[in-house]
Amino acid sequence: MLGRPAVKAVVNAAQERARRGEIAPEEVANAAAAALPQGPSSLRGVVNATGVVLHTNLGRAPLSPVAIAAVVKAAGHTDVELDLTTGRRARRGRGALDALRVAVPAAAGVHVVNNGAAALVLAATALAAGREIIVSRGELVEIGDGFRLPALLESTGARLREVGTTNRTALADYAAAVGPDTGFILKVHPSNFVVSGFTSAVDVADLATLGVPVVADIGSGLLAPDPLLPDEPDAATTLNAGAALVTASGDKLLGGPQAGLLLGDADLVERLRRHPLARALRVDKLTLAALEATLRGPEPPTWVALRAAPAQLRVRAERLADALDDVDAEVTRTAAVVGGGGAPGLELESWAVSLPERLALPLRTGEPPVLGRVERGRLLLDLRCVPPDLDDAVAAAVRKAACTS
Ligand SMILES: *Cc1c(COP(=O)(O)O)cnc(C)c1O
């Protein structure tokens, strides 16, 4: 279904091509029909066979079925800011905020903004504009696509007080920097790289002894510890260690919609919530609906993928390869990764169907688009992030791609 202007634009373009003599006049209708978009949104659903669980270019976490249903329900008029019993205005997003409080009892205050970067900007603006943020040189990270945390923080008018070195920072470095200008100490989780060798960093528990608020950017949105990701910091542990505020993303290991979480001290969170900038960072009803459903519902697809048993992935890969009679397809063991969203360096045993590299383009541009990863001249379709009910669709896509290439 397309609106009139969209159809008209396509027809006009086809007529223009005919005027330029690129196509014959009698081909205008066919050319226009061929150029019509498949739907009013150009975003396409894709099959993530890359083996990267949280792929930023693929929209990070896919929503769970209950979150999708909640988004659809909230899309119309909804009681997002109204109490239906009293008929009066109610706190916006109270359901999602309550669900966050239940999920992280250590957080007396909770607030939600558009993404992790927005959460940091709000904290820096409200607590440190015109003052200093103390941060280790080893934690001045680039998030991705050229965006750097130091530049983001300085854009708020806060000054960065860098301490320590790239590989080692001690409690005494922080202690020497604390002064009347300190807004807060920032602890950033290096979520997309690993430093090894002669290194040391200071724990939140030790930083919390210095008498100024500690803000911890844990990145991934892991709310409580999970044995699958032993090195990944979580919100509950970080708050219990003494952080005044934790910031995190909603669409990484939380497995929900793009959002930024601010969890922690009730008074601090209230200051952030009342800051004028908060209004510019507020989330819409769709995000609130998806976030609440993710928190209250069954484990989202991100965790289903993280917990998938290698033996089962192997069986699926073998079945898929068997279904590809005339294609050069082999079953191969691979290492999947969590991705930019967390747990850098961690590899998850996984299984893939290995195909000729030339199938990468036709698979990517087919329907549905299937994205694998190319390794040593072969295209690997890693099944860890592929929902099992899509295996048949993937087999059909591979057969079609093999025929046409
Ligand atoms: C991902 C990440 C961010 C940015 O979060 P967005 O939700 O992408 O804005 C900030 N800090 C850390 C440590 C991260 O991992």
Among 122, 157, 118, CA closest to 273: 122
Atom of ligand 1 nearest to the CA of 220: 15
* Closest C-alpha residue for ligand 1 atom 14: 219
- Residues 239 and 254: their CA atoms lie apart, in Å, by 17
Q: Is 219 in the pocket of ligand 1 (CB under 6 A)?
A: yes
Ligand 1, pocket-test mutation among 143, 229, 247, most atoms within 8 A of CB: 143
Task: Measure 143 CA to ligand 1 centroid, in angstroms.
Answer: 6
Ligand 1, pocket-test mutation among 60, 113, 217, 281, most atoms within 8 A of CB: 217
Query: Which amino acid belongs to residue 131?
Result: R
Average pLDDT in the chain: 95
Ligand 1, pocket-test mutation among 189, 220, 249, most atoms within 8 A of CB: 249
Q: Is 113 in the pocket of ligand 1 (CB under 6 A)?
A: no
Which whole-number Å values give the CA distances from 375 to 50, 194, 356, 360, in the listed order?
Answer: 11, 22, 11, 11
Ligand 1, pocket-test mutation among 191, 193, 194, 261, most atoms within 8 A of CB: 191
Q: Is 116 in the pocket of ligand 1 (CB under 6 A)?
A: yes
- Asked whether 122 and 278 are in contact (CB, 8 A), the reply is yes
Atom of ligand 1 nearest to the CA of 119: 9
Among 89, 69, 87, 149, CA closest to 117: 149
Among 216, 205, 215, CA closest to 182: 215
Cα angle: 234, vertex 273, 71; to 5 degrees: 70
Span 57-89, pLDDT tens digits: 999 999 999 999 999 999 999 999 999 999 999
* Closest C-alpha residue for ligand 1 atom 15: 219
- Asked whether 61 and 255 are in contact (CB, 8 A), the reply is yes
pLDDT of 85 reads 97
Among 48, 78, 47, 115, CA closest to 256: 115
pLDDT of 350 reads 98
Residue 405 has pLDDT above 80, yes or no: no
SS3 237: helix
341 pLDDT tier (thresholds 50, 70, 90): low
Joined tokens for residue 391: 């295996």
Task: Measure 219 CA to ligand 1 centroid, in angstroms.
Answer: 5
Q: What is the Cα 180 distance to its own chain's centre? A: 37
pLDDT of 198 reads 87
Residue 342 has pLDDT above 80, yes or no: no
Can you give the pTM of this predicted structure?
A: 0.94
Q: How many CA atoms lie within 13 A of 253 on its CB side?
A: 27
Is pLDDT larger for residue 255 or for residue 7?
A: 255
Residue 363 has pLDDT above 80, yes or no: yes
